[in-house]
Amino acid sequence: MSHGNQQRFWHIVPADNKANARLIVSRILLDTLEGLSMAYPKTTAQRREELKSIRKGLAN
């Protein structure tokens, strides 16, 4: 069960069974994250080389 407006939902999660409560919360989180349509940012070849150099410097 959920209640709220489009930006802020709150969910009622019965906690009398911890396994079920965790499953419900996990499902809510998964659905929310999948709805965000996230993607890695686009980068250029030059920036990738810079990042490789930085990574190499951090490894030493």
Q: pLDDT per residue over 6-58, tens digit each?
A: 667 788 999 999 999 999 999 999 999 999 988 988 999 999 999 999 999 99
* Cα separation, 34 vs 14, whole angstroms: 23
Which pair of tokens denotes residue 57? 């410097």
pLDDT at 1 over 60: no
Q: What is the SS3 assignment for 26? A: helix
Residue 37: predicted pLDDT: 86
What is the predicted pLDDT for the residue at 9?
77
